[in-house]
Structure formats: C-alpha cells, structure tokens
Structure 1
Amino acid sequence: MTDLVIRPLVAGEEHLFTSMPDPLPGVPKNDYAGGIAAGGYRPERTWVALRGGRVVGRAAWVLPPGAVGRPWLEWFDLTVEPEVGAALLRAAHAALGGPTLYHAAVPPTWRDEPAVVPPMAAARLAGLVEQGERVRFAWTGTPREVSPGRYTFRPAADRAEIVTLVARIAAPQILTGTETARAVAGVDLGTDPLAWLSGPPRTWRVALRDGEPVGLAAAAGDACYPMIAYLGLVDPDALDALLADAVAVLRAGGAEEVVADADAYRTGVIAGLERAGFRPVRARITFTPA
C-alpha cells in the first residue's frame, strides 16, 4: 500500500468522488452531486483512497435530512485489491463511530460481474457480514392480459381495512424500499406500511375471492416513482391477478415504468413478476456489522 492516501473529502472536493469512472455504469444509483445538494451525502462522510493522486477507491455514506438512524454505506467502488478497500472502510468506521450497514447495489447477474468482487471482499475483510439479497424489478410497456378468474379488485375502504389485512399477512411477497424505510424512519414496511406510505387508502388495492379479502397491494403512484410498494397475499394463487391489477392502476394514472422489490430467495414471487412483464434491473446486497 505504498503511497496510498485514505481520507475524507473536504468541502469543494466533490469532483474527486466523480473523477473515478463508475465500474458498474448500468446499475441504477442515486446521483452523488444531487445527494450533496440535498444534504444526504456530505463531504465528511465521503472517503477516498488515492494512489499516486488518482482515486482507486471511494465510499459515500448517506443520511437523508430528518432521518432517525445512522448513515449507511450506499456507494462503494474499488478498482484495486480488496485490502485497500478494507483499510478505507476501517478508517471511515473509526471516524463515523463504528461500522454501519452497507447496501451494495450490483447488477442482477452480479455473480458473473468481476467489478463487484473487490468491494464485497473488502466489506468482509472490514468485518461486515452479508445478510440478504433483494432484487429490483422494473416494468415498462403494456399490461399483460391476465384473467382475474375468481378474483375481483377494489380500492381499500379506509386505513382500518389496510391495517386489518396487513395483520393477516405474515410475510408480504413484495416490499419496495424496505431498507430505506427502516434506515430513514425506523419503520418496518412489512408490519407497519402506513407509517411510511402516506398516500390515501384508495391507492391500495384489495383482492377478493367470493367477496372476502385475500390480498393487498399498495400501487404507490405518488411515491418518488411509481411502484408496487407493498404486496401481500392470504391466497398465494392471487399473485398474478393482483400484480396485473396494480400495474394497470398505475398505468392508468400515467406511469410508464413501475418498480418492485423482492427477496432473491423467493423464486415463486420472482417468477410471478417476470410473468407480469417485470425484468430485473438491480440487486441490493445488505451487509451488517458483525
């Protein structure tokens, strides 16, 4: 590590962060310059590793204004050996009061992408532990024609109905942005979605079988972008029809793209998203302090 310099940025040095070419340009990320302007990213929470004056590693911790938790590592790129990245993380952790969560944004086919190996190996060397993988899907185009079969759909009657149905659903199939909800507001999107999703009850769709509610979806067109923020089922067979209904509602509201997140291990949910015309655009692997 001869001539290696590891340090945080100071105000006015943001260009150092952006001087490093993005090793994964196809992965959707939050804009760094925009994050600096909004206050989520800050120079003192942005660290770089320089070798010969050139940035060979960079890491940016984000904490949106008003967030209740600690900053989390949102952006970590490395073009050299993992030991350099581990040294960067250890130095930053010491300055930030200890290790934090790391949400690694990678291609959905990340196991075949060499650029993801050094940062993830560095995170492990620095004492972070891989905890889980979630995949972001995006839908563009026209709704797939799905026969509702024995299901019908309507807007939720009120908040009380949403709360009642959420209590019946032990493990929602789709939770979009759950990591952000927990980190920013301390909210568990799976058990208390209304604490995070502020849209009116009519944006929630209820699936019914023989007049009884068997599924619930938040077609959140008024979020940062159109998404299926929550989808949970009492009747698993309602997945395809409820997905089609939620997409159709969002499309009727003007959406040209709809996103949805699912845990990578839920192969049945992922198959349902793909049948509905969704395609994977990003995976997010969470690392936690040991």
Structure 2
Amino acid sequence: MTDLVIRPLVAGEENLFDSMPDPLPQLRKVAYADGIAGGGYRPEHTWVALRAGRVVGRAAWLLPPGAVGAPWLEQFDLDAEPEVGAALLHVAHEALGGPTSYFAALPAHWRRRPEVLAVVRAPMAAARLAGLVEGKERLRCSWTGTPLPTTAGRYTFRTPIDAAEINALVARIADPEVLTGVEIARAVGGVDLATDPLGWLAGPVENWRIALDAGEPVGLAGTAGDACYPLLAYLGLLDEAVRSELLVEAVRVLAAGGAREVIADVDAHRVAVLAELERTGFRQLRARVIFTPPVPAATS
C-alpha cells in the first residue's frame, strides 16, 4: 500500500468524494453535496483513500447541526482490498478522537443477492479489521398505500389523555417492537427512544394510540407525520395478540392525515413482527447493520 494516500477532504472537494461511482445506487441516501450544504457532513469528517489519484475508498461521518453525540460513519465505500479500508478507518479514527459507530446501509434481502454481496463484503470486512464490532441488524420497511387488511375488531383505540399516560405505559413496556430512528435519536438527541420516546417525538399526544381490551390498555403506538417521512415511530405491546390491529390502526391514522408512505424500523430477528408488518402491507426497503466501537475491558 505504499502508493496509497489517505487524507481528509478540504472545503470545495465535494466533487472528489463524488468521483467514486455509487456502488449501491438503489439505496435512498442524502447526496454528499446536500449533506455538506445542510451541515451534517463536513470536510474534516470526510476521508478518502487515493491510489494514483483515483478515489478507491471514501468514508463520511455524519453529525447534524445541534447533535449532542459524536459523529457516526454514515457512508463508507471501498473499491480496494479490505486492508485499504481498514487503514482509512484507522487514520480517520485517530483524527476523530477514537472509533465511532458505523451504520452500514444495505439493500433489502442483501444476503440473497450476489451482486450486492460483491459490493458490501469489502467495507464490512474493513470495519471488522479496524476493530469495530458487528452488532444487530435492523430493517426499514415501507407502506405505500396498499389497502389495509380487515381486522377482527376485538380491540378499541383512543388517544392518550396526556403525556403522563404515555410515559406510564412506556414504563410498563419492557421491549418495544418497533422503534423507528432509534439510532439517530440516541446519536443526535441523546435520547433512548425505547424508554423516553417523548424526549424525541415532539408532536401532540393525538399522534399516539392506546389499544384497549375491555377498557384495559394492551398496546401503545406512536406516529410522527411531520418527520422526514411519516413514521410508525413506536410500537409497544402488553399483549402480543393486539399487534395486528394496532399496526393497522397506526397506519390508518397516518393515512387519514395524508401520508402516502409510512416508514417503520424493526430488528431483523423479530420474525413475528416482520410477518405482521408484511401482512399490513409493508415491504422491506433496506437493512442496516450496526458496527460499534469495542467495549473497553474492565480494570480491577
């Protein structure tokens, strides 16, 4: 790798970053130039690996204006061996004060698509070589106006009385099933969406629905119609049997408000939740594999 040059960008070099063809154009993403204009991407948080003047690796860390956390690696592309990508990450991590999380965005069903695997193997291997730890996989799903299924009508729904009622139900739900944007809430706002959704979702309580069985709460759904996309932001159950009807109700609320698309994020291992999302009309848009810095060993 003696002919390899690794360096950050300087202002005005957006075209250098974009000179590397996008290896996964089917993924929705913010263009690098747009991210620079919006302040989330910065030249000093963007690194390239050049070989004979050609970009063979690029990495852009994202930190939206006003964020309280550290920048995370949002875009990492590699047209070289994994060792080149690892070297790029090592140099950048040193300049950034240490490794940060990497949110590796991948097309839906990526493991079954050889053409995608050929693209993503190298950067993911480079992340591991650089010491990042591969963690959970999360799937982003999208409903785009397909007719909602008919439900049995076993449950009734109402809006919460106030924020205190939402918080009380959240405290009873140990493991929410859908948390859309949980990584961004933590990185940008320092908020745990699972335990403090109202710390991130600033809309009115009318965006929430409580599912009732004989008058007793059995589920809670939080929507956000005015985010970057209309979101099913939170879905938590006290009785799994309510899942299908509460999903339909949450999408119905957003559709009644004019949403033509609804986004929901779910952990890939939640097979039953994914199946219910699909029955409701959701389809997978993308996957995201989360790499995190290693946890320091405890000292005695």
| TM tier relative to shorter chain | over 0.9
Q: Give SS of 1:144's match.
A: coil
- The answer to whether structure 1 residue 281 and structure 2 residue 291 are counterparts is no
Letter in 2 for 1:6: I
- Relative to structure 2, which stretch is displaced further, 240-249 or 148-157? 148-157
TM-score normalised to structure 2 length: 0.95
Task: State how far apart, in whole Å, the 1-side matches of 2:167 and 2:123 are.
Answer: 40
Match of 1:101 in 2: 101
Match of 1:45 in 2: 45
How is 1:1-290 mapped onto 2 (pairs within 5 angstroms)?
A: 1-111=1-111, 112=113, 113=116, 114-290=118-294
Task: State how far apart, in whole Å, the 2-side matches of 1:38 and 1:16 are.
Answer: 18
Task: State how far apart, in whole Å, the 2-side matches of 1:224 and 1:26 are.
Answer: 19
Q: Give SS of 2:157's match.
A: strand
Which runs of no fewer than 5 residues in structure 2 stay unpaired?
A: 295-300
Task: State how far apart, in whole Å, the 2-side matches of 1:2 and 1:109 are.
Answer: 37
Is the Cα–Cα contact under 8 Å of residues 156 and 203 in structure 1 kept in the other structure?
Answer: no
- Relative to structure 2, which stretch is displaced further, 168-177 or 214-223? 214-223
Is the Cα–Cα contact under 8 Å of residues 149 and 279 in structure 2 kept in the other structure?
Answer: no
Task: State how far apart, in whole Å, the 1-side matches of 2:73 and 2:251 are.
Answer: 32
Letter in 2 for 1:92: A
**CA positional deviation for 1:54:** 1.1
**CA positional deviation for 1:4:** 1.3
Task: State how far apart, in whole Å, the 2-side matches of 1:194 and 1:148 are.
Answer: 30
Q: Give SS of 1:133's match.
A: strand
Task: State how far apart, in whole Å, the 2-side matches of 1:170 and 1:85 are.
Answer: 39
Is the Cα–Cα contact under 8 Å of residues 48 and 88 in structure 1 kept in the other structure?
Answer: yes
Is the Cα–Cα contact under 8 Å of residues 150 and 210 in structure 1 kept in the other structure?
Answer: no
Task: State how far apart, in whole Å, the 1-side matches of 2:23 and 2:84 are.
Answer: 16
Task: State how far apart, in whole Å, the 1-side matches of 2:223 and 2:73 are.
Answer: 29
**CA positional deviation for 1:148:** 4.1
Aligned residue pair count: 290
Is the Cα–Cα contact under 8 Å of residues 103 and 289 in structure 2 kept in the other structure?
Answer: yes
Task: State how far apart, in whole Å, the 1-side matches of 2:146 and 2:193 are.
Answer: 28
In percent, how many aligned pairs have the same letter? 69
**CA positional deviation for 1:120:** 0.3
Letter in 1 for 2:160: A
Letter in 2 for 1:67: A
**CA positional deviation for 1:2:** 3.7
String of CA shifts for 1:20-61, please: whole Å, max 9, x gaps: 111111112222211111111100110011111111110000
Which runs of no fewer than 5 residues in structure 1 stay unpaired?
A: none
- Structural RMSD (CA): 1.0
Distance 1:118 1:124, change over 3 A: same
Q: Give SS of 1:93's match.
A: helix
Match of 2:297 in 1: none
Letter in 2 for 1:165: L
Q: Give SS of 2:74's match.
A: strand
Is the Cα–Cα contact under 8 Å of residues 61 and 73 in structure 2 kept in the other structure?
Answer: yes
TM-score normalised to structure 1 length: 0.98
String of CA shifts for 1:162-189, please: whole Å, max 9, x gaps: 0111011100000000000000111100
Task: State how far apart, in whole Å, the 1-side matches of 2:59 and 2:38 are.
Answer: 18
String of CA shifts for 1:124-168, please: whole Å, max 9, x gaps: 000000011100000112332221431011112210110111011
Task: State how far apart, in whole Å, the 2-side matches of 1:128 and 1:30 are.
Answer: 24
Task: State how far apart, in whole Å, the 2-side matches of 1:230 and 1:3 are.
Answer: 49
User: After TM superposition, where is structure 1 displaced by more than 3 Å over at least 4 residues in a row?
Assistant: none
